[in-house]
Amino acid sequence: MKTTKTHASLKDIANYVGVSISLVSFVLNDKARQHRVSEEMVRKIKEAAEKLNYQPNIFAKSLREGKSHVIGVVLSDISNPFFSSIARCLEDEAEKYGYSVLFSSSDENRERSEKQIAHLINRGVDGLILVPCEKSQSTVRAVLETGKPLVLIDRYFPDVHTNYVCLNNREMSRLATSTILASGYSHPGTIAYDTTLQHMLDRRSGYRQAMEDAGKAAFVSESLIRECDLHQSISSAIDKLLAEGVDSLLFATNNIATESLMVIKNKGINVPGELGIIGFDGGSAFDLFQVPISYIQQPVALMAQKTVEIIMDEILVGQRLTHQIEVQGTLVIKESTKK
């Protein structure tokens, strides 16, 4: 018994029915009408296909059509809950179009992501969905030049003209901060990653905006917008912020929030009494903390839907409009901001 259980081909059906291969191809691709194939013939061929359990050979089809019916996705790390939930939604959306999704994780490493992208393009993906990493403008531009349909998700570069779908980061961050203020906290600080990626800048600037709106612009020294990169630095960032007299914190990502909560717990700081908190993206860790944590929720399913919609437009219709979509987040208020 051979491993490659050679499936029935058009030829097999043609022989079986006693007609030409092309006729079978027409019928099985719903081009029967167009070629005015007789009803009788159509029936016979479809029956035979059914009987022989015909499955089109996707390699041949791809070779011939220059299409793979696969879209490639490069994200930060698929084992990160935020990205894995995006992954799941992308998978579901793509499926609606009969498309499969090939994932790879860049680990926020530019070289690595370039390799992954090259690999995916080599694999013949019909389009690319990217969570671009820092300073990868040139990479994104290079992809653009290949003419491959491309949509960025979660992040974008203001100086690169591409499709993208992301959260209204600035606004959500502003809203979160002003909510903290409205709850009676007077000295909120924030912790974000030390990166030039736009979504982080926006989250920081939303915080700043809220502070200005509240007439606390003067209070916002750079030291209230702490940056961190490694896990260790979170602890020291919190120390410094507390030393500044901060009474509440906005965490710019889920990871930062989770790490920070760990630190806060270990320090025995009381939430929300001593410290008010808002995080990003929710998750069971937020709910199991001493007090449920308020958070900014991203409409992940919607983001995925829009992203796939855009890319499929380009792939199928060949549309070349640029879609830049900002979806609206939701602020979910729990106990951690109830002073």
Element housing 276 (H / E): strand 276-280
Please report, as a single letter, which amino acid is at residue 287. Answer: D
When the beta carbons of 18 and 158 are compared against DNA, the nearer one is: 18
Helix 169-182 / helix 198-213 crossing angle, nearest 10 deg: 40
Site residues for DNA, 26-65, by CB under 7 A, read 26, 28-29, 31, 35-38, 40-41, 54, 56-57, 60-61, 63-65
Nearest 5°: phi and psi at 72? -100, 140
When the beta carbons of 60 and 217 are compared against DNA, the nearer one is: 60
- Locate all alpha helices (DSSP H) within 187-283, ordered by sequence: 198-213, 231-243, 254-267
From the list a second copy, DNA, none, pick the one residue 91 interacts with, judged by a Cβ distance below 5 to 8 Å according to partner type: a second copy
- Tell me how far, at minimum, the Cβ of 296 lies from a second copy, in Å: 18
From the list DNA, a second copy, none, pick the one residue 41 interacts with, judged by a Cβ distance below 5 to 8 Å according to partner type: DNA
From the list a second copy, DNA, none, pick the one residue 68 interacts with, judged by a Cβ distance below 5 to 8 Å according to partner type: a second copy
- Tell me how far, at minimum, the Cβ of 313 lies from DNA, in Å: 20
Helix 231-243 / helix 254-267 crossing angle, nearest 10 deg: 60
Site residues for a second copy, 286-315, by CB under 8 A, read 287-290
Name the token pair of 161: 């003209």
Residue located via tokens 């019909």: 126
- Tell me how far, at minimum, the Cβ of 13 lies from DNA, in Å: 8
Task: Judge contact between 109 and 166, C-beta under 8 A.
Answer: no
Name the token pair of 296: 């900014």
From the list DNA, a second copy, none, pick the one residue 2 interacts with, judged by a Cβ distance below 5 to 8 Å according to partner type: a second copy
Element housing 119 (H / E): helix 110-122
Site residues for a second copy, 33-62, by CB under 8 A, read 55-60, 62
* Omega cis (within 30) before 292: no
Q: Which stretch binds a second copy (CB under 8 A): 29-37, 191-199, 202-210, 257-265?
A: 257-265
When the beta carbons of 6 and 266 are compared against DNA, the nearer one is: 6
Which member of 19, 21, 25, 85 binds a second copy (CB under 8 A)? 85
